[in-house]
Structure 1
């Protein structure tokens, strides 16, 4: 989904004199926060520590999934894996930009000043795991990629569920819900791929 299109679609009724109430149930996941300022309330005010943690952790988590997907383009031998990897990249790249935008609006740095990022983040692959994936090709790559992406997605689903339970920003919670649904579907597809490899 295009962030620009979604934001433009939300901004149009506001520019034409519509109210934010008429659009309340129609927020697009990738929309940027400035598109819902018709009430005059700052979107920056509606967030808590859980929202910040979600964005800070999900950005590098998504970046690693995109790196894995990039490897599949040249190393995978299975056409379904190549197709799914391209889909993962297409979904997660815009989500990274959206979450970076939120952190900027909230006045929060992308990295945790306490230095806790990357430690205990569910589903993140180690540098050694990534090296193994980079070194693999063909059927070996297909199997490794599938196993590792299942674990990676499960970690993202766990973080998304935490955000839905503990977050307060409606856009962040909506994105978390989308991540959970999308990646759960992809886990099921990946399991079927693994079964036939």
Structure 2
């Protein structure tokens, strides 16, 4: 279980260890974005993209209509978040180098989970969906808390607060739908 301190440390470690590809003192990056901001953005994009792959399967595979409806709404939220995250990435001046491509970070829906979800329906799919998205949302909340406390960009911190609140609401709704 990652604590607020360990998540902040993880983001900082990712930036310092070179998991991100931006130089530490990039003169083209707006001063309002620090390494935590860009590491958070670059991690959130693939996390949301993977979660979106799972929500896209729900309409045809979910066993419970309430869960399928929740997943459809969650997919729309993810798409909206992705647009805002990509806009922030562009504003930060950091190129979209996809430093986390192929990684399976804590809370990230794995490609193995996507493959298993494509091969199942009904209750088994519902369990995969619920387990995968609950882990995603819990990790997203932790990452957003870290961004809000360690990031320097007001726009990134505001988006983190918005996403964190949405994730908390979705966890509550998932418990009712799942």
TM-score by length of 1: 0.69
2:5 paired with 1:57: no
**What pairs with 1:1-197 in structure 2 (closer than 5 Å)?**
44-111=30-97, 115=99, 119=103, 121-194=105-178
Higher relative contact order (CA 8 A, sep 6+): 2
Distance in 2 (alpha carbons) for counterparts of 1:63 and 1:119: 13
- Backbone CA RMSD of aligned residues: 1.9
The ranges of structure 1 where at least 4 consecutive aligned residues each deviate by more than 3 angstroms after the TM superposition are: 115-120
Which of these two proteins has the greater Rg computed from alpha carbons? 1
Change (3 A) 1:120 1:144: closer
Structure 1: gaps (5+ residues):
1-42
Structure 2: gaps (5+ residues):
1-28
Distance in 2 (alpha carbons) for counterparts of 1:168 and 1:47: 6
User: How many residues are paired up?
Assistant: 150
**Could you tell me how far 1:52 is from its partner in structure 2?**
0.4
Change (3 A) 1:120 1:79: closer
